[in-house]
Structure 1
């Protein structure tokens, strides 16, 4: 259903220098539909600043706007030449998502700005105010011509020394974001990735990010003063941040605002700031659960390269496919199928992968047909090692091959923090590349799941074949991470940080939590393993949203496991998402309603502390009876030395019921709520 209301305002001739301060504040700001959020601009001494408030309390103090071009060229003295107002109220249905319907209700102020002299360059600053935050972007006029931008001068001057949850964004730290989160006051930050989640001392929650990153450099945030963060951009190898020719539009800078952590998710602000779908018929885009030839390589029971334990052997892949088909999974991923894995490409970074030539023991067309006959798909894999030219030379033929044999999804990989020519992982060069991959895949009817990606900025609205991505420390670090694996708090932080950007392919579902390694390899206490209970592994399917969810463990580790029934049952596409309780780094409880079905799933996770909650089921429709199928931490469960016990029980419930959720240290609880028979 589409609803749209648009009210155009007259252009306002603003003589800024002569206007009284009160009049400037009124005419040069825009308020959200609910009246709580306000974003406005403030010219000062030839420079332009913006400010943000909520309920009359400052969120961002006056913060500078502008650019620096090659040769130290910055914008000259600026004046406001006019403005126009606009509003919109539109609701659209997503082909898939954490919610089925998204309402874009905002008010807009478009401010016309020009240099008072010199080159007389002009641009529009477009500001939008939503009930869940604010956003702004620059639209450069033709007088900018062809340009080389060295830096964007946009600041975020926080009104509070807020607590921040962050990962570093400055080299030599990994630019692909696979780092554990830290927490500190803003005044202790250096350079960090977005989304950056902040908690003000008055309890206000703020998230800084960006939306509609199309032909621009990814943004980091660098602290320049005590509580002032400034955008700094990923770079081409020669130091330039952005190359372009005006007219030119930047990404949106987004500031999500909420009263409580629970109100941060689902985060839909970036979706509202991306254009509608470019894919007219999205019926072929189907969320799914999948398994794959993957975890065995991480725990050294299989190999990517050829040899006696090569994972991508035809008969071995059929074994995985048979398991997937028998358990209602939609696909099987296979890594290591293509030539190029037999060199030490990771340490030497001398990868020369072929994306069309399989190893002799891998029957690509035969396995694709084998999958189709079982009502599922073979999921292809393209590891590039950030050798972008090698991949782009083969991209069209590789996607055409997958389309021809019937592979409907591909997982791409970009291990490496810079390209072969030294361009940054989040650079404009890579942003352009990822768009080319998404669009090429769409032409061939192929869904995309990106590992070591650029950040998610809501492009899934425009290209809904862009289903999921990694972009954080996922499950593989629990196989070999030097710290022994991700700490128990990790996923409770991800929910309020990384997950606010968009879906994440975290690859949950490890049942062999002590990781039985090859015979003759003794286990040491410090060896990496998932630092969760088994019940928490189940809960992650609900908590960490992705339209692609992997049953990541080896098929044999699911045999004779009653708890695997939850993975069979859990949905991957949702009508509604409700965060019932949560504190960043402590715990999360979230309920999601399966799309088109009268079933709900609840996931609850905790950090290293045991926690208990009484959870009202008031989100259920009144007057209906349901059965809650509960997968809880069993007696004595503890992530440290007893992670496996799971207690499975059933309870009759309705909208007036309250469920007791008890979680062991590092534990969780997973619940399916279905209509009573």
Structure 2
């Protein structure tokens, strides 16, 4: 719900943080709870902004701008009188919690740059700030460069990864002053004093993907790496939102939905569509490579035995003899066992709109419910539109979507909830012996506080085969399925190992979406990630540990009243492919004392 623009006067000035409209060079908007404040201002003719929380600077003077038709929209700027809107809404969310509350004040600031009109949009919520520029439609307008920046206060600790093809870089711990000047992919998370700050972008549509580089003064400057020559458009130019998520603790950070909030809601029919169903899936590629047609009955039986909703047939099915006929038969056989089928497809078959619709029609005719689309090309403006077009066409055919080899998420899953997940993460495909890959020990402990802050990711967790552990413990692998949010939760391990595991009952109880998420005391990105997550009247505790073994005390106060059945999995000393299991009864007054091995973890399952 949006209320009408503020009428100039005392109430409007209060919502705008007390700043008078009579000022010509500063525009201030505060969050509904009053803790966060953003100011857009002009200094020496240059458009800048800064962000504070409780009076503490988060971003010092940072740039805003777009270069278009040779005009620097961001220089020689004059600000006019803004209008203010309140946004206050709730919507269903598939992910770390079930409902998102989008409550913010938005300011629309008319401006001129060297006499040319444009607008500045400012969105200030309790969990952060977003800002963007809009340029009016103009025939043959050339968009040449983006001038956004984030100028973080001080020298914060950073958790960042280098810009890489398909956003599959490895996160590491560094600092702003030592991060170097190579391109960095978004998102990154910083810790400055007691605040956690994640920066990224939202609403990437009709615009090129943004990366950042550290400048000479440590300002993190955005640039359109995939659109070095820009593009021409006749339409209004809407810069994607430049987002700064701000949290007082890690629980607030992982529960932010600011990225999704900045995207339009879906049509009512899509928002309430009963065919959009999250779920768990088996998948053969990580454990055994291309699908063998004679083995499909076994994979379906395993999926049924685990109680999973889906089975994904990956790359290679299209090379079967009579692939479409075989696919239809497999889907029919799976349906009899209450298993639904997803299939892999190369993006080249669905790039063109006509070919895409024809391909989707074939999938629907075969009975397929979901499609994993792989290998999209570089993330320029043309391909940013392809994601939306593809999601729209898939929704028309009631197809669920998993984008792989994909650009980072920017919240489109709110507009198109049939897009359950995407990759854009260095996942379990980088912990695999046949390609001689092994993930750094800190990587898993950083991901929940960086990549997963901005949206679900298809990590393909939980591989239990002994030779594939590569120093991870079974409990670490179990904890991945709990902490790495993905409404299409595609397990990387061979289901043979999942079915036969002594903690199969715990594994099969793990859902693909959650009602509530808490980050537990002792968590520290790069060292340890500990979460409690609730589904209905069940709680799960998961710990992902990094390189150094250690101890953690976990108060169970989140359980509330009554006694709880508890099944606890701890690392077995001296063995990767075993765990110590304890089944007991616990209550909110109890404290778990956990010892986690190097690259180990812990899992607890609590039910009334």
Contact map agreement 1:293 1:317 (CA 8 A) in 2:
no
Q: Tell me the distance in 1 between the aligned counterparts of 2:48 and 2:26.
A: 15
* Residue 320 (structure 1) aligned with residue 299 (structure 2): yes
Q: Tell me the distance in 1 between the aligned counterparts of 2:239 and 2:48.
A: 17
Of 497, 500, 512, 1:572 maps to: 512
TM-fit CA distance, 1:116: 4.5
* Helix, strand or coil at the partner of 1:461: helix
The structure in which a higher percent of residues are helix is 2
* Aligned residue number for residue 396 of structure 1: 357
* Helix, strand or coil at the partner of 1:396: helix
TM-fit CA distance, 1:539: 0.9
Are the structure 2 counterparts of residues 76 and 547 from structure 1 closer, same or farther at C-alpha, using a change threshold of 3 Å?
closer
TM-fit CA distance, 1:359: 4.8
Are the structure 2 counterparts of residues 257 and 6 from structure 1 closer, same or farther at C-alpha, using a change threshold of 3 Å?
same
* Aligned residue number for residue 96 of structure 2: 98
* Aligned residue number for residue 591 of structure 1: 532
TM-fit CA distance, 1:562: 0.7
* Aligned residue number for residue 565 of structure 2: 627
TM-fit CA distance, 1:361: 9.9
Kindly report which structure 2 residues correspond to 1:335-414, keeping only aligned pairs within 5 A, or say none: 335-339=314-318, 359=322, 363-384=326-347, 387=348, 394-414=355-375
Kindly report which structure 2 residues correspond to 1:142-291, keeping only aligned pairs within 5 A, or say none: 142=137, 144-169=138-163, 174-188=164-178, 189-190=180-181, 191-200=183-192, 202-236=193-227, 239-278=228-267, 279-291=270-282
Q: Tell me the distance in 1 between the aligned counterparts of 2:349 and 2:225.
A: 17
Q: Tell me the distance in 1 between the aligned counterparts of 2:263 and 2:21.
A: 34
Contact map agreement 1:337 1:362 (CA 8 A) in 2:
no
* Helix, strand or coil at the partner of 1:82: coil
Q: Tell me the distance in 1 between the aligned counterparts of 2:185 and 2:27.
A: 30
Are the structure 2 counterparts of residues 388 and 325 from structure 1 closer, same or farther at C-alpha, using a change threshold of 3 Å?
closer
* Aligned residue number for residue 118 of structure 2: 123
Q: Tell me the distance in 1 between the aligned counterparts of 2:324 and 2:102.
A: 51
Are the structure 2 counterparts of residues 336 and 63 from structure 1 closer, same or farther at C-alpha, using a change threshold of 3 Å?
closer
Q: Tell me the distance in 1 between the aligned counterparts of 2:344 and 2:556.
A: 41
TM-fit CA distance, 1:481: 7.9
Contact map agreement 1:295 1:553 (CA 8 A) in 2:
yes
Q: TM-score, normalised by structure 2?
A: 0.92
* Helix, strand or coil at the partner of 2:559: coil
- Residue-by-residue CA offset, 1:18-62 (whole Å, 9 max, x unaligned): xx9996399610111221211011112222111111111221112
* Helix, strand or coil at the partner of 1:577: strand
* Aligned residue number for residue 655 of structure 1: 588
- Residue-by-residue CA offset, 1:92-131 (whole Å, 9 max, x unaligned): 233x2211111111122221101353xxx21111112111
* Aligned residue number for residue 472 of structure 2: 532
TM-fit CA distance, 1:88: 2.5
Contact map agreement 2:373 2:402 (CA 8 A) in 1:
yes
Give the paired residue count: 596
Q: What 5-or-longer segments of structure 2 have no aligned partner?
A: 14-18
TM-fit CA distance, 1:72: 6.8
* Residue 134 (structure 1) aligned with residue 87 (structure 2): no
Are the structure 2 counterparts of residues 558 and 77 from structure 1 closer, same or farther at C-alpha, using a change threshold of 3 Å?
closer
Contact map agreement 1:123 1:141 (CA 8 A) in 2:
yes
Are the structure 2 counterparts of residues 130 and 182 from structure 1 closer, same or farther at C-alpha, using a change threshold of 3 Å?
same
- Residue-by-residue CA offset, 1:615-640 (whole Å, 9 max, x unaligned): 11211232x2211111211233xxxx
Are the structure 2 counterparts of residues 391 and 413 from structure 1 closer, same or farther at C-alpha, using a change threshold of 3 Å?
farther
Q: Tell me the distance in 1 between the aligned counterparts of 2:537 and 2:583.
A: 17
- Residue-by-residue CA offset, 1:651-673 (whole Å, 9 max, x unaligned): 21222222222211111111111
Are the structure 2 counterparts of residues 402 and 569 from structure 1 closer, same or farther at C-alpha, using a change threshold of 3 Å?
same
TM-fit CA distance, 1:185: 2.0
Contact map agreement 2:60 2:151 (CA 8 A) in 1:
yes
Q: Tell me the distance in 2 between the aligned counterparts of 1:440 and 1:165.
A: 36
* Residue 84 (structure 1) aligned with residue 83 (structure 2): yes
Contact map agreement 1:563 1:646 (CA 8 A) in 2:
no
* Helix, strand or coil at the partner of 2:81: strand
TM-fit CA distance, 1:552: 2.1
Q: Tell me the distance in 2 between the aligned counterparts of 1:8 and 1:291.
A: 50
Stretch of structure 1 that moved more, 565-574 or 64-73 = 64-73
* Helix, strand or coil at the partner of 1:569: coil
Q: Tell me the distance in 1 between the aligned counterparts of 2:244 and 2:366.
A: 44
Contact map agreement 1:606 1:665 (CA 8 A) in 2:
yes
* Residue 514 (structure 1) aligned with residue 467 (structure 2): yes
Q: Tell me the distance in 2 between the aligned counterparts of 1:489 and 1:464.
A: 32
Q: Tell me the distance in 1 between the aligned counterparts of 2:428 and 2:466.
A: 12
Stretch of structure 1 that moved more, 437-446 or 160-169 = 160-169
Are the structure 2 counterparts of residues 498 and 657 from structure 1 closer, same or farther at C-alpha, using a change threshold of 3 Å?
same
* Helix, strand or coil at the partner of 1:285: coil
Q: TM-score, normalised by structure 1?
A: 0.83
TM-fit CA distance, 1:377: 0.7
Q: Tell me the distance in 2 between the aligned counterparts of 1:433 and 1:376.
A: 30
Q: Tell me the distance in 2 between the aligned counterparts of 1:69 and 1:26.
A: 23
* Residue 8 (structure 1) aligned with residue 14 (structure 2): no
* Helix, strand or coil at the partner of 2:121: strand
Contact map agreement 1:166 1:183 (CA 8 A) in 2:
yes
Kindly report which structure 2 residues correspond to 1:17-32, keeping only aligned pairs within 5 A, or say none: 24=23, 28-32=27-31
Contact map agreement 1:312 1:362 (CA 8 A) in 2:
no
Q: What 5-or-longer segments of structure 1 have no aligned partner?
A: 15-19, 305-310, 341-356, 420-424, 516-528, 637-641
- Residue-by-residue CA offset, 1:250-277 (whole Å, 9 max, x unaligned): 2111101112334311231111111112
Contact map agreement 2:37 2:124 (CA 8 A) in 1:
yes
Q: Tell me the distance in 2 between the aligned counterparts of 1:548 and 1:31.
A: 37
Q: Tell me the distance in 1 between the aligned counterparts of 2:567 and 2:135.
A: 56
Are the structure 2 counterparts of residues 400 and 614 from structure 1 closer, same or farther at C-alpha, using a change threshold of 3 Å?
same
